């Protein structure tokens, strides 16, 4: 059983930075997809960054490319979302997520959907102009 516990987030002015953390309990094997999603009021859920643990590059949504950085600390079994140059349109509830998939492949072939079995509790990010 995998559990995800989030921390971080908060309120910041446009141009500022925040870092979200997601502590993972349970074993994450190479066939897992890890992702960060967000959902703003009245909008559909958006996948913003993700990685296939077994290899391949990290994927970013066009809306956050160059501003957000997904990283993992394997020693701490924690994943992070560093968010720089934040914009008011980044305001949303952010969730980390994990899901086991097939072995082999990469993010593009195995992960780009919203059907993630395990999800963190969510953390609010508010960016003011």
How many CA atoms lie within 13 Å of 55's alpha carbon, on the beta-carbon side? 3
The length of the chain is: 129
14-37 pLDDT, tens digit per residue, is 999 999 999 999 999 999 999 999
pLDDT digits (tens, 9 = 90+) for 57-76: 999 999 999 999 999 998 99
Provide the pLDDT confidence category of residue 83 given band limits of 50, 70 and 90: very high
Positive or negative: CA dihedral 92, 48, 21, 18: negative
**Could you tell me what percent of the chain has a pLDDT over 90?**
89
């Amino acid at each position: 059983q995998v559990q995800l516990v989030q921390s971080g987030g908060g309120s910041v002015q446009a141009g500022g930075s925040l870092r979200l953390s997601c502590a993972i309990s349970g074993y994450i094997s190479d066939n897992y997809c890890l992702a960060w999603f967000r959902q703003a009021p009245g909008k559909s859920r958006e996948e913003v960054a993700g990685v296939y643990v077994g290899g391949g590059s990290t994927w970013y949504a066009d809306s956050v490319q160059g501003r957000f950085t997904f990283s993992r600390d394997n020693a701490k079994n924690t994943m992070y979302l560093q968010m720089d140059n934040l914009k008011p349109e980044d305001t949303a509830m952010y969730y980390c997520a994990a899901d086991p998939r097939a072995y082999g492949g990469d993010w593009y072939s195995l992960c780009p959907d919203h059907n993630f079995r395990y999800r963190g509790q969510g953390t609010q990010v508010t960016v003011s102009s």
